[in-house]
Structure 1
Amino acid sequence: MTDTTNPPVTEASAAPLPGPDPRLERLAVFSRELEAVAGNAAVTEPVASPEPVASPEPVASPEPVAVIEAAAPADTLVNMPVVDTAPIMTREDQSVPEPEAVAPEPEAVAPEPEAVAPEPEAVAPEPEAGPVPRTEARKVEPMTRESALDSKDPAKKPSEPQPSDLWAVLRAILSTPWGRRIALVIVGIVLFFTGWVSGRWGRSDLNSQLSDRKQEIVRFKKEVVNYKAEIDSIVIERDQLRQRLRESEEKREFYKQRDKIRKYVSDARRAWEARNVKEALEALHKANIHFQSEAHDAKGVSNYLYRTIARRMQQALTAIETDCADSRPVQSSAFEPPAAPAVSCLERVNGLLQHVIDALPPARED
């Protein structure tokens, strides 16, 4: 069975081509695709190869274009394993191979490129799994266990941190001793400034509270001073009220004493006019007792007046008791005119009692 993937070159194709050889360009494109497939071995889905670049048709021989398209169908570009491109790259620098090696069968293989050429358009969208066709020019490296693990197992490949991954960058920094030291320094600086700011805030808060308390203390002291002034004024007012109460009580007592003195003197006068000596003396003694109680705190002119009234009351008592035994009237003071000599005892006692009543007028409330 003949290999249809590598058709023989005809005599027309073996002729020298004018200008750049299109096969070298196709080989260069194919070598770049192989390098891309070898570098992206971890990709699971197959990547469709780009459409083959149409090379300009040579004037002398159009057959080489069909031969190259048949030699490299599109499905081989997708499912191609790692291929050693060194022989291909070496052949790019060499001249076009001689057509003598494939010359024996030109008639049987020549029509096949026309039937194989349309296959890339039908197979390219959905590649099928199957054996990969190999050519004599494409040599595949033997796959070992280590290379398979390295190319297919993504866990074996080290994960490189991305610039956008902040945590990966931080872990990479903290994995070094200098990174840990710098992190400790940064944490210390942050803690220091945090403590400093919180301390300043706490101190300012305490200062504000202290100033508020001081203002409250000053206000309380002012209130205490005001309360003390109010208490002093209340005490003074209380003393004044007590003084007024005491004066009112004294006045009330004075009014009572004055009323009693006038009453008893009037009773003594009426009893003396009725010639009831005993009742007159008793009433006059009671009036004298109340009079002494009223006159014990008298001073100045009041004391003089009370002494004058007391002397007249004593003269009336003596006259009633002795029934005017002493006919000569006694002059009470130098300011009083002498009494008339021819006055009876009754008139004399009545005159003395009338002087006492006139000297003690009835009390009047202010």
Structure 2
Amino acid sequence: MVSRPASNTPLGTPAITLAPRTLRFGYVPLTDAAPLLVADALGLFANAGVRVALSREAAWAAVRDKLAFGALDAAHLLGPVAIALAAGAGGFRRSLTVTAGLARNGNTITLSHALASQIGAFEAPLEPSLFAAALHRRAEDGLPPPTLAVVFPHSSHNYLLRHWLAAGGLDPDHDVRLVVVPPPQMARALAEGAIEGFCAGEPWGSQAIAAGAGRFALASGDIWPDHPEKVLAFGEAAAQRDRDAMIAATAAVIEAARWLDEPANRNAAVALLQERAFPGLAPATIAAALAGTVAAAPGGAPRRLAAPMRFAAASCPRAEEAGWWFDAMRRWGHLGPEASRHAALAPWRADLWHAAAARLDPPPFIGRAATSPPQPTFQEPDA
């Protein structure tokens, strides 16, 4: 807007006061995008003094590219993508700034009924040795490896699934066929037989199970209890240009995470997520992850997870936890031996999180301040 000229301002040259810049935040429709959606819907961004416009994105590749090239200022992002960009995987390097974690746990592995029947009777969480035995029988019968989907090559889903497969003695690059499918398309791909199983964030596993298209096998929290999930990542230009706005937006996301963890807010959170992210899903399917369950199969009861999704406890970004993704990426050849661990984990900025948290009253409880959840160890030497 145009302000009144000061006394020393030449006539005809009004002083200009620039309106706050609107930051564009991307997200993929998943339950762990909830902190961004809540911060927007409840006016927490505005209360923190920052203007944010949310952009729904169809796939992780779009989020990565738009964030890397400045079409997005920040995003709900897969942690391993930030590592890949910082390490220059594939010859493409970008420096992101991770100011917060968005959730812990929250992914499920769902199998087609046909593949589940080949395994035989089992109780969730499915043991990797049982799955491996079924695949060996398939191979002996001359059947091809099953096709399993993950949401992106550089994703927690890919690396946790690979870890679980390797724990059963399988080679993820030869004993199964791993493909990429965007999260919202997983249930349909399973129902149509294009894939035989998938690992994706909720509510897409619950959607497939509730629709009768698949069977719950295990959760990612069964592989690594309380593992970190998505992060809030800012692009290089936005981090350099709008540092105060970045901290303010992070404060709003921290406050949203606290709100989400309050049981009294669960029904409101489900309604908000249905309106903003999942208009075609039943409230019970959306509510499952917030309640720490997986939606029920037709005629069944919801299953409680040993490691449910949590928001506030994920909020402070921890480089030591992200280091497991770095090691897994090295193990499976997604990063070369020349990749610098220090450079790859540099985006994780707990100091900026603390600066944001200091703006809140009362200050947030820092979940797992002293220790991070124990990380699973590799069963085989790194390749």
The structure with more radius of gyration = 1
Q: Which has the higher contact order (CA 8 A, sep 6+)?
A: 2
Asked whether the two chains share a fold, i.e. TM above 0.5, the reply is no
Question: Which protein is richer in helix relative to its size?
Answer: 1
TM-score between both structures, scaled by the size of structure 1: 0.19
